[in-house]
């Protein structure tokens, strides 16, 4: 690959990449700003998203830093009471809608979905670009709301506080979230159409890699749930701006209606955030244990089960809200039911290791960390699904710890694992392996150190969204804030060595991990049209060893790529 | 500083919740240990190049084990659900002779009022061993009444009554927190619940400034707001008498039946045309915006204090 003459330098990259047989890679195919900002190439749009998401990750992260610093002591030290309220609202709003929801789908999904199913691009490339501009517009509006004075409602926008009492920029923030919702929907529709219409010959539904299934399930949830969020936020704007009484009890409105509509979106949104990471982890675990995934069909049905039942459990956020006792019991039942597919996935990943040939490259370390953290996060969900326990721990740090285990320990670990796994494909460079393994281990321990103490203080009764707190909780807050320092290092470190690798990293081969997905049978980075010749598919995914044999000691190459030349 | 790992358990509810928590801790701890042991064992035993046996998966591990753990998790989930649901239903069963405390929440304070009219701010005194029933409402945004030592929490909503029931079982002072985010000073909206021996409580209560009890205050309001004009039969308009209706079922004009409780009386004062009693004209004006939350509590207390027969 590297013996082919360079076409010319491109900014930020000392040596341009080139695909095999002289076809330039997607990075070098076109030059200039317009070639990036008006591109319809799903791979370039994925990078545009990655850049925007990095910015928002830093903004949301700054909010987290402010929160953890303030909570180091029981008194108010750094921030005013309003300042603190604005910080956790910033952290939640930015991290949920501007990082976690789009994180894996809009970066890896955009980049990999067409590659993994053997397509040249997404079904609607211009819609894809449009969704990025919507995202940027929404982000700009949100940044305006934050800079102009901030929002103090919490990311949940509960009425009547948000409609009648908050003195902050609620409407700008709500409209920003409405806009980013449309961006999500555009991506979801695009993915659904792509998976339905553009699969390579022979790529049947039950030959799809699990990441594709996970993105497909996620897209269904996005398309069906997000409109409800749009609706409920527009109702907030209507009530706040025009006095239309919908949630205000003084005019016969119902503040609980808001919570029902909000959680009807926001619980499925939890699955929007975690389902894609299930897909990523399935790719990593199979590759680095050199085994076919354990129970492929069960894994697929578990994704679909979660996507469907995820719509029916929103009431478990409202056990103490004043909804009826019988509603509580029904929602509790459904919440226990949805624990089952998650358990299936954990056991299947674990048994994929059985009789494998396991290596502990950085992506595998992230994946193993994910399984541990997700299991603990999921098991604490059983406490929250039990009504009597939830009554005690809801709106305390127990809940904060629980959802951070799922969304940060889970989704963000998987994001970093995927980033390392596909980095050679995306950039054509290898990262320094030792640093990467160190960062993965640091992330696991930093995370546990930060969030495990929060389970204990939550159970002891420490309420969430408190700037000042009784001194008996300080020890746990100090532990948590100290852990957050480690965690911050673990997040920043990869940004450093990955950037380093862009210039000094070794050139990546076409298939450095000896993996089986179609994305690995094209050059690293891939050409503009993804494949030299469009692939056809004869086998299922994860063909790391023949059915009747296990992986061998001496032949890591025994795997077979899913595709073949046509 | 001694490090506490388990919150004080000072109510009947706390004992029941803690039993479920302990069992769940054992079950989830076992599952977590199982997953970790499997992960570590497999990761070490099947590391690349280790001498452990590879090849085809044993028959046992193929389909049966998958169905096995699906069924096992489902069964376990249903078991925990059934226990938790039974406890929830048990806690909801009304108890007779509960001490009724009215709680009004507003940004950013708790007002509590005892049956005899004694009021407290950000504090509540309760006798040990007597069931307490808190009737709560908010004057502005949503708040939440949380006492960790009692393992109880309930959101407090504007325009609506919510309630909490529990029996304190231990004397002492227990912190009270607001746990629904309610604005600037949310973190400072707290207080103390003091549980005393019944005789100490009696002494404490009699030492409080003697306000009228809320029923008497309600009686004065009943006249000054003009309710008595129609409902006490002295005016030209015919309206249903209120004596003795508390706790009964009334027949409504549209055929439905409603039980007369706090929420029915509130609705009838604020939205009188919603549930008109059979045989009467819908002519009462709404008092929404005219009577505040505290006044509503007093009116309701007055109506329920009326004996059967003459008002």
Cβ distance B85 to A549 less than 8 Å, yes or no, reads no
User: Which of A255, A332, A347 lies at the smallest CB-CB distance from B69?
Assistant: A347
Buried b (16+ CB within 10 A) or exposed e, A174-203: bbbbbbbbbbbbbbbbbbbebbeebbbebb
Within this chain, do residues B184 and B273 fall inside the same structural domain, yes or no? no
Are B104 and B237 contained in the same domain? no
Which of A231-245, B158-172, B238-252 shows the lowest per-residue confidence on average (mean pLDDT)? Answer: B238-252
Say whether pLDDT at A404 is over 50: yes
- Judge if B163 and B264 occupy the same domain: no
Looking at the structure of chain B, the number of domains it has is: 2
Chain A: nearest CA to B208, how far in angstroms? 29
Query: Cβ of B54 and A346 within 8 Å?
Result: no
What is the model's pLDDT at position B143? 96
B36 and B104: one domain?
A: yes
Q: Which CATH number do you get for residue B118?
A: 2.60.40.420
Cα distance from A465 to chain B (closest Cα, Å)? 7
pLDDT tens for each residue of A306-320: 999 999 999 999 999
Q: How many C-beta atoms surround the C-beta of residue A362 within 10 A?
A: 27
Let me know whether B21 and B132 are in one domain. yes
Tell me how far apart the alpha carbons of residues A235 and A241 are, in angstroms, rounded to a whole number.
Answer: 10
Chain A residues with CB under 8 Å of B161 CB are: none
Contact call for B88 and A550, based on CB within 8 A: no
Helix residue spans in chain B (DSSP H): 12-45, 63-92, 198-207, 214-224, 227-231, 262-270, 293-305
Whether B84 has its CB under 8 Å from any CB of chain A: the answer is: yes
User: Residue B147: pLDDT above 60?
Assistant: yes
Q: Are B258 and B291 members of one domain? A: yes
* Domain extent listing, chain A: 20-564
Residues B221 and B254 in one domain: yes
| ipTM score of complex | 0.89
Residue A22 has pLDDT above 80, yes or no: no
Average pLDDT over residues A293-301: 92
Assign residue B280 a region (left: φ > 0; alpha: ψ between -120 and 50; beta: otherwise).
beta
Residues B15, B158, single domain; the answer is: yes
Q: What is the CA radius of gyration of chain B?
A: 27
How sure is the predictor about A269, in pLDDT bands with cuts at 50, 70 and 90? very high
Domain span holding position B18: 6-46+94-210
- For residues A85 and A112, what is the distance between their CA atoms, to the nearest angstrom? 38
Q: What is the mean pLDDT of residues B16-40?
A: 94
Query: Which residues from B are below 8 Å from A299, CB to CB?
Result: none
For residues A448-467, average pLDDT: 96
Q: At what angle do helices A170-197 and A210-242 cross, to 10 degrees?
A: 150
Question: Cα–Cα–Cα angle for B262, B267, B273, nearest 5°?
Answer: 145
pLDDT digits (tens, 9 = 90+) for A325-334: 999 999 999 9
Q: Is B71 among the domain residues?
A: no
CB contact at 8 A, B24 and A386: yes
From the list A153, A50, A144, A135, the residue with the least C-alpha distance to A93 is A153
Q: Say if residue B106 is in the same domain as residue B193.
A: yes
The B residues from 284 to 303 touching A (CB cutoff 8 Å) are: 288-289
Q: How confident is the model at residue B88 (pLDDT cuts 50, 70, 90)?
A: confident
Most distant CA atoms of chain A, gap in Å:
75
* Tokens read off for A9: 């330098």
Q: Which of B184, B210, B236 is the last residue of a domain?
A: B210
Last residue of a domain, one of B165, B194, B210: B210
pLDDT band at A5 (very low <50, low <70, confident <90, very high): very low
Nearest to B179 among A250, A463, A552 (CB): A463
Mean per-residue pLDDT, B251-280:
84
Q: Work out the average pLDDT over A407-415.
A: 95
CA distance B303 to chain A (A): 23
> Which residues share a beta bridge with B176?
B191
Same domain, B144 and B233: no
Q: Verify that B175 and B239 share a domain, yes or no.
A: no
Of B38, B157, B159, the CB nearest to A350: B38
pLDDT band at A558 (very low <50, low <70, confident <90, very high): low
CATH of the domain at B273: 1.10.760.10
pTM (predicted TM-score): 0.87
Of A274, A282, A318, nearest to A298 (Cα)? A282
Burial per residue of A58-96, b for 16 or more beta-carbon CB atoms within 10 angstroms, e otherwise: ebbbebbbbbbebbebbeeeebebbebbbbbbbbbbbbb
CATH level 2 (architecture), domain A20-564: Up-down Bundle (1.20)
And the tokens for A488? 């911050």
Please write the tens of the pLDDT for every residue from B8-27.
999 999 999 999 999 999 99
Asked if residue B158 and residue B124 are part of one domain, the reply reads yes
What is the rounded distance in angstroms from the CA atom of residue A197 to the CA atom of residue A205?
11
Please state the rounded mean pLDDT for residues A416-425. Answer: 96
What is the distance of C-alpha A317 from the center of its chain? 21
Residues in a beta bridge with A317: none
Of B210, B245, B276, which one is at a domain's C-terminal end?
A: B210
């Amino acid at each position: 690959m590297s013996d082919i003459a360079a076409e010319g330098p491109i900014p930020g990259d000392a040596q341009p990449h080139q695909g095999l047989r002289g076809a330039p890679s997607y990075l070098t195919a076109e030059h200039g700003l317009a070639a990036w900002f008006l591109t319809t190439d799903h791979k370039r749009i994925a990078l545009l998203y990655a850049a925007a998401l990095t910015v928002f990750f830093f903004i949301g992260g700054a909010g987290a830093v402010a929160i953890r610093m303030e909570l180091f002591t029981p008194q108010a030290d750094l921030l005013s009471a309003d300042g603190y309220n604005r910080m956790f609202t910033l952290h939640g709003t930015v991290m949920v809608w501007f990082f976690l929801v789009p994180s894996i789908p809009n970066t890896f999904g955009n980049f990999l979905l067409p590659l993994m199913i053997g397509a040249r691009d997404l079904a609607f490339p211009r819609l894809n670009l449009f969704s990025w501009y919507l995202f940027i517009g929404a982000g700009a509006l949100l940044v305006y709301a934050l800079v102009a004075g901030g929002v103090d409602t919490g990311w949940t926008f509960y009425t009547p506080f948000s409609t009648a009492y908050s003195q902050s920029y609620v409407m700008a923030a709500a409209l920003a979230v409405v806009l980013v919702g449309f961006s999500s929907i555009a991506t979801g529709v695009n993915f659904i159409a792509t998976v339905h219409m553009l699969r390579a010959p022979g790529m049947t539904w039950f030959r799809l890699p699990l990441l594709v299934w996970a993105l497909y399930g996620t897209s269904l949830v996005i398309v069906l749930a997000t409109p409800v969020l749009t609706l409920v936020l527009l109702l907030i704007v209507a009530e706040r701006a025009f006095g239309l009484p919908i949630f205000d009890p003084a005019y016969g409105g119902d503040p609980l209606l808001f919570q029902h509509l909000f959680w009807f979106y926001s619980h499925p949104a939890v699955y929007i955030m975690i389902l894609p990471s299930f897909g990523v982890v399935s790719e990593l675990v199979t590759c680095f244990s050199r085994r076919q995934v354990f129970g492929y069909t069960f894994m697929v049905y578990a994704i679909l089960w979660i996507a469907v039942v995820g719509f029916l459990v929103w009431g478990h956020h409202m056990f103490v809200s004043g909804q009826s006792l019988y509603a509580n019991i029904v929602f509790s039942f459904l919440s226990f039911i949805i624990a089952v597919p998650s358990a299936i996935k954990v056991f299947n990943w674990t048994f994929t290791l059985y009789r494998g040939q396991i290596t502990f490259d950085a992506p595998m370390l992230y994946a193993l960390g994910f399984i541990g953290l997700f299991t603990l996060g999921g098991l604490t969900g059983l406490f929250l699904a039990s009504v009597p326990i939830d009554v005690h721990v809801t709106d305390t740090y127990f809940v904060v710890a629980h959802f951070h285990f799922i969304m940060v320990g889970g989704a963000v670990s998987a994001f970093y694992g995927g980033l390392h796994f596909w980095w050679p494909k995306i950039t054509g460079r290898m990262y320094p392996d030792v640093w990467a393994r160190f960062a993965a281990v640091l992330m696991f321990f930093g995370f546990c150190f930060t969030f495990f103490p929060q389970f204990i203080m939550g159970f002891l009764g420490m309420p969430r969204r408190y700037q000042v707190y009784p001194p008996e909780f300080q020890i746990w807050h100090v532990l948590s804030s100290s852990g957050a320092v480690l965690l911050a290092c673990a997040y920043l470190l990869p940004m450093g060595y990955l950037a380093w690798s862009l210039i000094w990293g070794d050139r990546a081969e076409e298939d450095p991990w000896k993996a089986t997905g179609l994305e690995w049978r094209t050059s690293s980075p891939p050409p503009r049209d993804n494949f030299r010749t469009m692939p056809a598919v004869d086998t299922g995914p994860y063909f790391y060893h023949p059915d009747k044999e296990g992986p061998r000691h001496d032949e890591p190459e025994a795997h077979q790529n899913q595709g073949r030349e046509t | 500083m001694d490090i506490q790992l388990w919150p004080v358990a000072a109510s009947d509810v706390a004992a029941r919740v803690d039993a479920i928590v302990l069992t769940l801790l054992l079950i989830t701890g076992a599952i977590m240990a199982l997953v970790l042991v499997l992960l570590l064992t497999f990761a070490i035993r099947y590391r690349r190049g280790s001498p452990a046996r590879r090849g085809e998966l044993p028959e046992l591990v193929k389909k049966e084990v998958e169905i096995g753990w699906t069924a096992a998790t489902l069964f376990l989930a249903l078991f925990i659900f059934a226990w938790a649901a039974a406890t929830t239903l048990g806690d909801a069963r009304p108890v007779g002779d509960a001490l009724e405390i009215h709680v009004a929440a507003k940004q950013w304070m708790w007002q509590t009022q005892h049956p005899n009219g004694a009021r407290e701010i950000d504090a509540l005194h309760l006798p040990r061993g007597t069931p307490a029933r808190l009737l709560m409402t908010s004057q502005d945004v949503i708040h939440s009444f949380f006492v960790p030592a009692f393992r109880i929490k309930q959101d407090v909503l504007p325009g609506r009554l919510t309630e909490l029931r529990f029996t304190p079982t231990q004397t002492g002072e227990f912190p009270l927190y607001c746990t629904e985010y309610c604005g600037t000073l949310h973190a400072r909206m707290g207080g103390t619940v003091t549980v005393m021996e019944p005789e100490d409580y009696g002494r404490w209560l009699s030492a409080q400034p003697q306000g009228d009890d809320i029923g008497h205050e309600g009686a004065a309001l009943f006249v000054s707001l003009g309710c008595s004009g129609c409902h006490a039969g002295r005016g030209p308009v015919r309206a249903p008498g209120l004596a003795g209706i508390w706790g009964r079922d009334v027949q409504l004009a549209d055929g439905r039946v409603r039980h007369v409780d706090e929420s029915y009386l509130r609705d009838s004062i604020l939205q009188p045309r919603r549930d008109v009693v059979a045989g009467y004209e819908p002519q009462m004006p709404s008092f929404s915006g005219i009577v505040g939350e505290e006044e509503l509590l007093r009116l309701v207390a007055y109506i329920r204090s009326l004996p059967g027969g003459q008002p």
